[in-house]
Amino acid sequence: MILEEEAVVQLFELQALGVVSERTDDPESPAEKLCEHFFCDDEPGSRLFVAQVSGMLQNLPGDMDLTEKAYLWQRMDKYNKMVGKPVNIWENVAMALLSRAVAGLKEVLETEPALKSAASLRGKLLEEANRGSVRALCAAGYMMCRGYMFPKDAEKGVAYLRRAAEWNDRRSLVLLLSCDAARRQEYLARLEFLCAGDEETLKQIQTKCGKAERSAPPECAMLERLLGSKKSLRREVCSQAQARVISSSVIGVKDKERLLLACDEEAPQTGALPLALKGEAPRCNAVVLAECPALDEKARRAAAKALGDAAGKPLCFSCDSPALTEMISGAIEKAFASAHVQKIEAGMCEAFEFEPSANNVFVRDCDEDRANVFIVSIDSETNERVAALVKDFLREGKRRSFRLLSPNVSLDLSSVFPVCFCDGESEELLRSVCEIVRVKPLCAEDKPAFIKALWEEKSQNKVQLAPEVSAKLLEYGADDIAALIEKAAALSRGRKGQIRVRDLPWENHETGARKYGFGGMKNVG
C-alpha cells in the first residue's frame, strides 16, 4: 500500500464523481486534504508526486470526463509507441492510477451520460454502497464527512467508512484515522496487522500516529485468511449478512469462521439471529418499583437489591395473584423503559420453540440495537420439559454460551436480563437459579394506592369513582378489586359524573369466595 498512490486514486474518484479536484492554495481543497489524510503533507517528495500525477490529466485536451480522457490517452499511447515517441512516465503512472479509480467505481460511472447529474450520481453511489461495493462505501463515506456533493454528515460518513474498514479495506482505515479520531487506536491496530509486510507504509503511519496500544481483533486475521479463499467472500464486495457475522459480539471467532466456511452461497443463512447484541446491562429506574403499590416495603427493598446486582441471580417474583402480577410486570416495563422488554409466557409456549435453532424463543425476540429484558412467567401447570428449559436459560453460564445447532454457533446472551414470575407451587423449582421475592396479599394500608393506580390505568376519561365505591373496594382482595375496576372502567366510557355503588355487581365478588392463581381464576372447594 503506497500512501501517495492511494491519495491520488481517491482524488481521481472524487473527480470522476463530479467533485472539483484541481489543486489550489485553499487548505480545504480536496487535493490538499487528501495529502493531509494520507500523510503526504510531511513529505515534500510525496506532495510532489500527488501534484505531478493528479496534474497530468489536466494537460489532456478537451472538456471531457475521466473515462473519455482515459480512452483518449490509450489511443495516444498506442500512437506514441508506434512512432517511437518517448514514453512520459508520469502519464503512465497517472493513467494506471486513473484505471484503478474508474474500475473501483465502474457501476456508478457507467450510468447513462444524460443521467450524470450530481443528484443521479449521488443516488447511484448510495445504491452501490448499500449493495456492498467497498469502493462506493469508501467514496460515499468520505464525501459525507467532507460535505462533497452530499450534505455534510460526519456521523453517517464514518458509518459508511467503518463498514468498508471492517471488511479490511486499508484506504478506509487510513481515512478513518482523520475522520474518526476517537477510535484511532482501533484503526491503527487493524492497519498494523494489514501492513505487516509493508515496512515503508507502516513507518509513515506510525511516525504520524504512533504505535497501536492494542492488537487487531482476531476477526481481522480471520477475514484476511478467508477473503479470496471462498467463492462467497470477495474483497470488492462487503456482504451485509457476512459482515454481521464477522462483527458480531455474541458469536465466538471459531464459530464465525465455521459459519462462513460452511456457506458457499452469497450470504450465510443466519435468519433473524441477534448477531450484534450491545452486550450492555439494561438500566433500571428503581424509583418506579419503589412507587409500585403491589409490593410491600420489604419486597421493594429485596427487588431493588436484586435488580441492582448485575452479577447476582435473576430476580423472581412469587405471586398467586394475577392482578398483582400484572401491576408488578407493568412496573418492570416502566423501570426498564430504555431497554427492549419482551414478555414470555412459558405456559403458552410449545416445546419446539425451545429447540436450539434461530427460532428459539430466547433468540428470536432479542433486539440487536437495545439492551434486552425478558419477563418470563412460569407456573405449576407449565409443561415439565419447557419448565426445565426455562430454568436452564436462567443460569448465567448457560446464557453466556447458548449453543444452537441451526446454524451451528454458540451465542453469548449473558447481557440478556431475565426477570421471572412464578406461583407458589413453582417457587421451589426456581429457587436454585433465582433470587425469590414473595409478593404478599395487599395489606389495608396499600389498598388505597392500589385502587388509585389501577383506576388511573384502566379509566379512559374524567369519570371518577364515588368515595363510597373506593371505601367498599377496600373490603376486597386485589383480584376482586381489579375485576370490579375493570367493570367500572367499561361503564365509564361515554359517561359523565361518577361511578356509584349501585352501578357495580358486588354480589358476584363475595370476599373470600374464590382466589386467583397464576394461571387465572380458580374456584375454591
Region 125-131 average pLDDT: 90
Task: Determine the pLDDT at residue 163.
Answer: 93
Q: Are 184 and 243 in contact (CB under 8 A)?
A: no
- Sign of the Cα pseudo-torsion (221, 225, 230, 234, in order): positive
Q: What is the mean pLDDT of the chain?
A: 81
- Predicted confidence band of residue 247 (pLDDT cuts 50, 70, 90): confident
Task: Determine the pLDDT at residue 464.
Answer: 83
Q: Is the pLDDT of residue 279 over 80?
A: no
Range from 167-171, 380-384, 447-451, 504-508 that averages highest in pLDDT: 167-171
Q: Is the pTM of this model over 0.85?
A: no
Task: Decide which of 513 and 123 is more confident.
Answer: 123
Q: Is the pLDDT of residue 449 over 70?
A: yes
Task: Decide which of 329 and 100 is more confident.
Answer: 329
State pLDDT tens for residues 461-519. Answer: 677 888 888 888 888 889 888 888 888 888 877 677 788 888 887 876 654 433 333 44
> What distance in Å separates the CA atoms of residue 161 and residue 375, rounded to the nearest whole number?
38
Task: Determine the pLDDT at residue 204.
Answer: 86
Region 160-171 average pLDDT: 94
Q: CB under 8 Å to 357, separation ≥6 — which residues? A: 404, 405, 406
CATH superfamily of the domain spanning 286-438: P-loop containing nucleotide triphosphate hydrolases (3.40.50.300)
Task: Decide which of 108 and 92 is more confident.
Answer: 108
Query: What residue ranges of the chain are covered by domains with CATH 1.10.8?
Result: 447-523
State pLDDT tens for residues 401-413. Answer: 888 887 778 888 8
Phi/psi of residue 82, each to 5°? -65, -40
Region 443-456 average pLDDT: 88
Question: pLDDT > 90: what percent of the chain?
Answer: 23
CATH number of 447-523: 1.10.8, 1.10.10, 1.10.3470, 3.30.1490?
1.10.8
Q: Are 176 and 183 in contact (CB under 8 A)?
A: yes
Q: Is the pLDDT of residue 250 over 90?
A: no
Query: What residue ranges of the chain are covered by domains with CATH 3.40.50.300?
Result: 286-438
Q: Is the pLDDT of residue 267 over 70?
A: no
Q: Are 394 and 435 in contact (CB under 8 A)?
A: no
> What distance in Å separates the CA atoms of residue 473 and residue 452, rounded to the nearest whole number?
11
Comparing CA positions, the residue from 74, 56, 72 lying closest to residue 64 is 72
CA-to-CA dists, residue 49 to 30, 55, 94, angstroms: 16, 10, 10
Region 437-441 average pLDDT: 90
